[in-house]
């Protein structure tokens, strides 16, 4: 009799699980209840073009309206490869529909502490020619880029959502980050990371991600060549439709700024069947040898 009860309970559980999975599929949710935003995307609009930009000797073309970064179509250095993917959606029309660039403060003047802005402007001048290793941009060192890659680089992003997690894989330099949906507390402050420590939760169709524990080395963009260890970001990924995610990041770094600022952008889904190739970086890079020469043998 007791065994029979157990069997009934199991049968009921199976039916329940089955019914739940049908319901989930109908509402576009994953088995763990997460809204489904899995897929490969390209990102646009996140470039933090300031109202009073510094002179950037690394890429003086930034101020040139004809430079790749400023092209109206949003296409970057290698549009051919992904030309059939998300980029076709990234024309002027799509751009006009979405919030992009610095959205707070509205005048696009970042709230730099004056002494820190002066340091940053000097730092940029010291990057070309590079004064020392500290003044080489992180991308040239093949290290993890941090969250932002604050350029419209056209390297796709793949989002996967196993139960309780969101994983974002950057095509760039085989980078990935994992956003924990179940953990509530950040890692100990002694642990410092290029990609930071990310905790997330869903608010309706918006994934909200809180990240700390940065290592003080990652750039926001070429004009903002570093952020400090005190950096704290809040990112909001909002599912707009099957092909579009709106993105907004709040940068709070009290060491460098008197208050937070925000940049918006958006992700558009790549064509089905597009796969990433390996992006090896350290393995082939001659950048440091070319800049500094071969180091003396020990």
Tokens linked to 34: 């997460």
**Number of Cβ atoms within 10 Å of the Cβ of 31:** 12
Helix (H) or strand (E) holding 16: helix 2-26
Q: Give the CA angle between residues 83, 195, 110 to the nearest 5°.
A: 80
288 sits in which H/E element:
helix 287-292
Is 162 a binder of other proteins (CB under 8 A)? yes
Q: Does 178 bind other proteins (CB under 8 A)?
A: yes
Residue whose entry in the numeric block shows the structure tokens 């002494």: 115
Is residue 244 a contact point for other proteins (CB under 8 A)? no
Tell me which residue of 112, 101, 124, 118 sits closest to 254, measured CA to CA.
112
User: Counting contacts by CB under 8 A, is residue 58 touching other proteins?
Assistant: no
- Nearest approach, Cβ of 293 to other proteins (angstroms)? 6
Element (H, E) at 158: strand 157-160
Residue of 21, 67, 84, 182 that binds other proteins (CB under 8 A) = 21
Q: Using CB under 8 A, which of 175, 211, 244, 268 touches other proteins?
A: 175
Q: Is the omega angle on the peptide bond into residue 210 within 30 degrees of 0, that is, cis?
A: no
Q: Does 38 bind other proteins (CB under 8 A)?
A: yes
Please tell me whether residue 183 binds other proteins under the rule CB under 8 A: yes
- The b-or-e profile of 82-106 (16+ CB within 10 A means b, else e) is beebbbbbbeeebbeebebebbbee
Decide: 188 and 175 in contact? Cβ < 8 Å.
no
Q: Which is nearer to other proteins, 32 or 230 (CB)?
A: 32
Determine if 271 is a binding residue for other proteins (CB under 8 A). Answer: no
Under 8 Å CB-to-CB from 109, ≥6 apart: which residues? 50, 51, 52
Among 155, 161, 233, 268, binds other proteins (CB under 8 A): 161
Query: Which range, of 11-19, 66-74, 100-108, 229-237, touches other proteins by CB under 8 A?
Result: 11-19
Nearer to other proteins, 14 or 92 (CB): 14
Smallest distance, Å, CB 75 to other proteins? 23
Size of the site for other proteins (CB under 8 A): 54
Is residue 293 part of the contact set for other proteins (CB under 8 A)? yes
One of 64, 67, 122, 176 touching other proteins (CB under 8 A)? 176
Q: Which residues would be at the binding site for other proteins (CB under 8 A)?
A: 5-7, 9-10, 12-13, 16, 21, 30-32, 38, 130, 132-133, 141-144, 158, 160-163, 165, 167, 169, 173-176, 178, 180, 183, 187, 191, 193-195, 197, 275-278, 280, 282-283, 288, 291-293, 295-296
């Amino acid at each position: 009799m007791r065994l029979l009860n157990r069997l009934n309970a199991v049968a009921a559980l199976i039916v329940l699980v089955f019914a739940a999975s049908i319901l989930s599929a109908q509402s576009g949710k994953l088995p763990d209840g997460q809204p489904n935003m899995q897929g490969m995307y390209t990102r646009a609009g996140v470039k933090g073009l300031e109202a009073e930009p510094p002179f950037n000797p690394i890429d003086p073309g930034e101020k040139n309206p004809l430079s790749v970064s400023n092209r109206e179509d949003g296409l970057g250095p290698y549009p051919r490869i992904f030309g059939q993917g998300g980029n076709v959606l990234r024309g002027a029309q799509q751009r006009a529909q979405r919030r992009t660039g610095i959205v707070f403060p509205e005048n696009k003047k970042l709230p730099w502490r004056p002494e820190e802005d002066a340091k940053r402007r000097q730092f940029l001048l010291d990057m070309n020619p590079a004064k020392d290793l500290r003044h080489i941009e992180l991308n040239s060192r093949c290290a993890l880029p941090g969250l932002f890659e604050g350029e419209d680089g056209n390297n796709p992003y793949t989002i996967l959502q196993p139960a309780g997690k969101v994983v974002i894989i950057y095509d760039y330099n085989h980078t990935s980050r994992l956003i924990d949906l179940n953990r509530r507390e950040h890692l100990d402050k002694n642990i410092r990371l290029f990609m930071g420590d990310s905790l997330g939760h869903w608010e309706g169709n918006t994934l909200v991600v809180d990240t700390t524990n940065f290592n003080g080395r990652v750039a926001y963009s070429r004009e903002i060549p570093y952020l400090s260890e005190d950096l704290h970001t809040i990112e909001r990924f909002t599912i707009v439709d099957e092909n579009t995610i709106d993105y907004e990041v709040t940068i709070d770094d009290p060491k460098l700024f008197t208050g937070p600022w925000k940049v918006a952008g958006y992700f558009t889904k790549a064509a089905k069947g597009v796969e990433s190739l390996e992006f090896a970086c350290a393995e082939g890079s001659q950048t440091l040898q070319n800049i500094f020469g071969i180091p003396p043998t020990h």
